[in-house]
A and B are shown apart, each in its own frame.
Chain A
């Protein structure tokens, strides 16, 4: 069975290749079957491996072949399987399967049906390779692979240039992070002589001391990669734009799996981070700042998918916070629950968009509670989990994060407080969404209802979003045991109460109308602030001014090849000489004689001078 682990990414990959090569020869049904079935098989295989593992929790490694071996550098195509891998694989194949199934209905009318599933399958394969990789180079392969698939899927509807722009932005911004990560790999290899993740940990123990500068630099570089892929400050700007892709793609790639790869990466390399406490704090601070920034932004958006996108950014911020405070398990746990409820929310929004003629603006929706009951309940459950209302999956994971953040020496309470503010905002914006979209008057009539291929994934995800909190993830062997000392009870009570308060505030403002905030929000300062938040804190604008425009300007300035000017100058000089000299050839013989006389004088001068 273990040897067959390679099949898990291979099957979606083969399916993808088949779909690309024989797209024209397959019926839509066959395409759907291949696309969904391949991920389904992967999911079943994963489940089998999971059951085996839970019965006999033994870590193993399967080497397929040597990828490259040059000098002392060697990297294999090898898979490593432990609890963490299992969790990630389960999320990818499980949630992935549901989203694939959902897609068959969502994309039903699209002409590029086969292309869609080809990309999606390829993504699943790449993502699996990412989490299964035994060494950082293979991980990097998956890492870049998912990036390309994300690019392809964001720009899936390439006919619209805006989508293409969003896709390119997504790829290039994450590439910046990827490059930092690549540099991190170079540094790790140069310092530790290997890229095998397990070997790295051992080598680090031999060569590094806690607090050294090398681990700090290396960890920061890896953090750079994680920040890019997980859309954290300051490289988060691509994710809201990436919503240009089909909604199931947003669910799978930009909510459940790919964007959490950064969390996985840091968790996977946590042994290195243990040598760099400053890097850990950096991770926590990045996470907290991102989660607050994104929460404020989500509050002001009115595109349903952008709200969810900012919410994703914010939630990943929580995961980073968890990693930064050493709550590895809690971080991964939140990763999993987030995958459930965020996929649920995205799919729900997909269903709405699907049924509402591709309407994205929440203020043009409303009253959908009765029109689309399944979707409504999905949203309710999803939002509850997102807001971390008690007993939902989100509650368990977020609570753990906040409590463990509180434990950190020194800044712990501040981190906790920041997290709480975020939690409050989360509750507000998520229920703002629910109240605006599903209650009130009907602004747009849906023209169809959700079919079974949408209902089943939604229902299953509802269950997971509700019950996911009780799953115990098998990562105890992976991470060092957290010294968990239960904080004072008031801390816990406050943590539980804050989301509920948030929901109430949202109700009062957006549904009940009891809380009149118009005067407040219409004030000049608040207007400006709202605009500021709406624009995503003008970070896009900043990058545009600082990087994009200068680069375009540079490219435009250099377009005509300034280096060639040198060669043109040489040519011009030669031509000028040619013209001068040619002008001398006037045809008048007396000039010729003069030239000869001149030559004679020169020769005489040279020769006689010497004598």
Chain B
């Protein structure tokens, strides 16, 4: 019930936000912030009462009772569809990330939304609710429902409050994700129908379907349906082209949520569903997936290097970074998987912050074109220093979260395929190239002394401080996070009974 409440609080909060607009234009954002924080506190209180958290008992994927939380109630018995939510270490991390970044997102768009604030905050909260659902739903029907429905408020955020080319961007975003979602729906249904054919039972429950017996050929196609849906969202090469447009056009909060959280649903889906449901097929497919991951890393970095639009550059950097996640997942050993999980969390913070900076720049300069920036450090030293922090984070400076992630992924990948690891490591160099170029073009160089720009204020500094602290902690003491996800990752690997080479 707790997990339902988490979602309900956000949903109802959204409705409240809409009506609160009548009290004043600046009320909805306060409501939204309060709602997210209440949700976060509620979650933390609830987590503190779970005994397993201390012992961190390894959850058995197919046995919901070993998970941290489990909730299940009949919904559409005709198909065996249940409202089934469950939480393990992995989803707990993701849920926490979602709520923290949710609060950041509200703060990020504190001032840049000028019209229909109520509806905006509502969409924001509803997106968060959808994402929470995705991370907790363990009934495939319910999962798909959240997967699709969370896009609608996101769509509205881009389409209504986006920038000059918002219609195109929103449409592209929606069509890419929906079309790939349809493939997943077909796969889900095929899986369920096959399971029904074998056992005579209609069920969409993850826990039941894990044991579904599928012919190898069929499993491969079904896996592909899942894979495409998740990789589009990730986004992996060559399905990434919606991302730069969506990011560029979305309002700041939209970009923050999109980059920080929404992309992670793709990675989460791969880890939670695509591989465990079809272990054998995934193994066979892994080489292709790995190559796609490497291609994403390099291609994203090169394209990021060529951009002149601040947000587009950061968007392509996401493509590059999420390529590491794909590598981590399909290397499928404990090092790489832990790295992928770390990357999900760390990238969430670093990119969200960069988008927030981009948003602040746009709000102040009314442009995202870096050719019209330069020397902004002079005008806004605080923002410059913070930008520098997140840029070195994004290029993988040891001591910050992203490094731990990329290092573990590459180390894990190295055990599986050395050539690929070498190519992927090029991403470290290309990553430095575009990151520093971003810094150079926007904050360094010839300053324009005539600019009157407002530096970051207390609200922004506080928000940034949260994310900086998070990255530093992740960077120098990642062990707690690793410990939380370890049982999940370990059990997933053992469950899938895939032994990939290397010393592990």
Residues of A whose CB lies within 8 Å of any CB of B are: 20, 65-73, 77, 137, 140-141, 143-145, 148, 151-152, 155, 158-161, 164-165, 167-168, 171-172, 175-176, 178-179, 182-183, 185-187, 189-190, 193, 551, 554-556, 558-559, 561, 563-564, 566-567
Contact = CB atoms under 8 A, between A and B. Distances in A.
Given A190-B502, A193-B503, A563-B238, A67 B476 contact: yes
B338 A145 contact: no
Contact of A555 (B302, B447, B482): B302
Contacts of A164: 440, 444-445
Contacts of B408: 68, 70, 73
Interface stretch (B15-23, B108-116, B185-193, B428-436): B428-436
B303 A561 contact: yes
The 5 tightest CB contacts between A and B, nearest first, are A555-B306, A141-B398, A158-B444, A559-B306, A186-B414
A141 B398 CA distance: 5
A186 B437 contact: no
Contacts of B303: 555, 558-559, 561
Contact of A68 (B404, B437, B443): B404
Given A70-B335, A159-B446, A558 B306 contact: yes
B447 A148 contact: no
A424 B410 CA distance: 46
A159 B240 contact: no
B377 A158 contact: yes
Chain B interface, >50% SS class: helix
Contacts of B447: 159
A577 to B, nearest CB: 17
Given A164-B445, A190-B503, 13 more contacts: A66-B479, A70-B408, A73-B411, A145-B397, A159-B444, A160-B446, A172-B432, A178-B428, A179-B428, A182-B428, A183-B414, A183-B421, A186-B421
Contact of B375 (A141, A152, A158, A179): A158
A175 B432 contact: yes
B477 A67 contact: yes
A155 to B, nearest CB: 6
B503 A168 contact: no
Contact of B410 (A69, A141, A182, A558): A182
Interface string B455-495: 00000000000000000000011110010001000000000
Q: How large is the interface on B (under 10, 10 to 19, 20 to 34, 35 or more residues)?
A: 35 or more
Contact of B385 (A20, A141, A172, A567): A20
B142 to A, nearest CB: 30
B146 interface: no
B375 A556 contact: no
A145 B306 contact: no
Contact of A171 (B338, B399, B432, B443): B432
B426 interface: yes
A556 B307 CA distance: 8
Contacts of B421: 183, 186
Given A67-B476, A190-B414, A161 B433 contact: no
Contact of B436 (A71, A73, A171, A178): A171
A133 B433 CA distance: 28
A189 B477 CA distance: 21
B397 A175 contact: no
A176 B305 contact: no
B445 A161 contact: yes
A71 B490 CA distance: 9
B409 to A, nearest CB: 11
A404 B264 CA distance: 58
A563 B440 CA distance: 28
A161 B440 contact: yes
B66 interface: no
A65 B479 CA distance: 10
A125 to B, nearest CB: 11
Nearest to B486: A70
B359 to A, nearest CB: 23
A154 to B, nearest CB: 11
A145 B502 CA distance: 30
A68 B482 contact: yes
B378 interface: yes
Given A175-B432, A179-B425, A186 B307 contact: no
A161 B502 CA distance: 46
B362 interface: no
Contact of B429 (A68, A179, A185, A189): A179
B169 interface: no
Interface in B394-427: 397-399, 403-404, 407-408, 410-411, 414-415, 418, 421-422, 425-426
B318 interface: no
Contacts of B429: 172, 175-176, 179
22 contacts: A66-B479, A68-B478, A70-B338, A71-B333, A77-B476, A137-B398, A159-B446, A172-B433, A179-B429, A183-B422, A186-B421, A189-B414, A190-B502, A551-B302, A551-B433, A555-B302, A556-B306, A558-B303, A558-B306, A563-B237, A563-B299, A564-B241
Given A164-B444, A171-B432, A555-B305, A182 B425 contact: yes
Contact of B482 (A69, A137, A148, A168): A69
B244 interface: yes
A526 B440 CA distance: 39
A172 B410 contact: no
A232 to B, nearest CB: 18
A189 B433 contact: no
A182 B334 CA distance: 19
B504 interface: yes
A148 B392 contact: yes
Contact of A563 (B240, B414, B503): B240
A564 B239 CA distance: 9
A121 to B, nearest CB: 15
A551 B476 CA distance: 34
A137 B445 CA distance: 34
Interface in B162-179: none
Nearest to A162: B445
A523 to B, nearest CB: 42
A179 B426 contact: yes
B469 to A, nearest CB: 12
Contacts of B445: 158-161, 164
A554 B430 CA distance: 12
Given A71-B504, A141-B399, A559 B241 contact: no
A68 B432 CA distance: 24
A159 B482 CA distance: 42
B6 to A, nearest CB: 29
